[in-house]
Amino acid sequence: MDIRLNDVLQLKKEHPCGSKQWLVLRTGIDFRMRCMGCGHEVMLPREKLEKRVRRILREGSEINPNVGKN
């Protein structure tokens, strides 16, 4: 899955603040993300994050996260 710095990810489940959108601050084996609702930052391993992503928003356009999956 192609997730880049400054992408906004929409996840399947809501954060307790009610937001589903997260800003990517760091990529690699682990991802650091900031909640777009309350500003809370978390780190998640790549495999857990890839299961939770519903949409990727990059520069105003939506990227299909399922491209390249078999």
pLDDT by residue for the chain (70 residues), tens only, comes to 889 999 999 999 999 999 999 999 999 999 999 999 999 999 999 999 999 999 999 988 888 776 666 5
In this prediction, residue 63 carries a pLDDT of 80
Query: Hey, what amino acid is at 6?
Result: N
What pLDDT sits at residue 17?
96
- pLDDT, residue 34, reads 98
* φ, ψ (nearest 5 deg) of residue 53: -75, 130
Q: Say if residues 17 and 38 touch (Cβ distance below 8 Å).
A: yes
pLDDT at residue 51 in the model: 93
pLDDT of residue 69: 62
